[in-house]
Amino acid sequence: MVSPNIRQIESTLNQLSDRNPTDSQQTSAPARESLENQGRHSPRQPHGGAPSFSMGVQPFPIGKNQSKTPKLPKLKAASISEHRHGANPALAMNLLKDIEATVTSWQQELQKLVRQIQDLYLEGPIVDGWLDSHERKTQNAQAQVRRSQTDRLRDYVEQELNQSDAKVTCQSPRTGYRLCGLDTDGQYWSRPCPPEQVPSVSLAIARYHKLRQLLSRKQELETRLNHLAETLVVLHSHLSKD
């Protein structure tokens, strides 16, 4: 009589053979016969104890037609240039040194310009204007001719011709100067300039043109320094966030 445990094992093997009949048909029959023979010849165990038996299960054969791994094409390794993508720690330091040298030269030039402007004010007066020359005698004669009438002009000519004993002197017309300029509203103004003051007024006008050049360069340097300071403040804020 076959024990219940052996029947349970047989049913398990039958289920396995039903699932894979092609691979387990050769191994299920010998295993079943060996189990039956062991059950028949094994001595019965007393009631209350578990039956002892030995069972050997042969491994399933491995199929010959196994799926082979497909051969994939080999990809070439991407060549990365270290010059373009590699980090260069010395580049940042070199740029900072160049910026420092440029700022230092700007500051030195700015200090020099301030001293030159101060010296220019100490040299003497500064005049924003120009000198205009004119012949004073010619203009006076023309004014007299315009104001005279026709009959008086005839008497004047006859009187000059009748004075035979008068001494005739030839004098070159003296050139006069006027200082001209524009006020804050753009209105033209002018005033007479004596001949003895022409040299000093010319120097004052030259100082004004020199002052304009110095102030223009000073403003240019200050604008560059302000723009650079704004850029560095933005850069410093980004670095502090990191």
Q: What's the average model confidence in pLDDT over 47-63?
A: 55
Do 112 and 191 fall into the same domain? Answer: yes
Residue 194 has pLDDT above 80, yes or no: yes
Spatial separation of the C-alpha atoms in residues 146 and 204, rounded to whole Å: 37
Tell me, yes or no, whether 222 and 118 share the same domain. Answer: yes
Domain limits for position 108 = 103-150+175-241
Q: Name residues whose C-beta falls within 8 Å of residue 225's C-beta, 6 or more positions apart in sequence.
A: 103, 106, 107, 110
Among 30-44, 160-174, 187-201, the range of highest mean pLDDT: 187-201
Task: Determine, yes or no, domain membership for 22.
Answer: yes
Let me know if residue 51 belongs to a domain: no
CA gap 120, 210 in Å, rounded: 8
The letter for the amino acid at 137 is K
The pLDDT of residue 134 is 76
115 and 229 belong to one structural domain: yes
Higher per-residue confidence, 119 vs 66: 119
Do 24 and 118 have their domain in common?
Answer: no
Same domain, 25 and 109: no
Q: Which residues of 198-213 are buried (b: 16+ CB within 10 A; e: fewer)?
A: eeebeebbebbeebee
Could you tell me if residue 158 is inside a domain? no
Do 112 and 228 share a structural domain? yes
If asked whether residues 110 and 222 sit together in one domain, one would say yes
Query: Which are the contacts of 166, defined by CB distance < 8 A and separation ≥ 6?
Result: none
Residue 144, domain member (yes or no): yes
Is the confidence at residue 20, as pLDDT, over 50? yes
Residue 134 lies in a domain: yes
Q: Is residue 94 part of a domain?
A: no
pLDDT at 139: 46
Same domain, 120 and 30: no
46 assigned to some structural domain: no
Q: Which two tokens stand for residue 220?
A: 């240019």
pLDDT tens string 87-96: 787 898 999 9
* pLDDT at residue 1 is higher than 80: no
Looking at the fold, whether 21 and 141 belong to one and the same domain comes out as no
Percent of the chain with pLDDT over 90: 37
> Are 129 and 223 in the same domain?
yes
Mean pLDDT score, 120-130: 94
Its pTM stands at 0.49
State the total domains in the chain: 2
pLDDT of 55 over the 70 cut: no
The answer to whether residue 195 is domain-embedded is: yes
Write the DSSP string, 146-197.
HHS-HHHHHHHHHHHHH--SSPP---PPPEEEEEEEE-TT--EEEEEE-GGG
Contact 128, 179 (CB under 8 A): no
At residue 234 the predicted structure's pLDDT band, cuts being 50, 70 and 90, is very high
Residue 106: CB atoms within 10 Å: 16
pLDDT at 32: 55
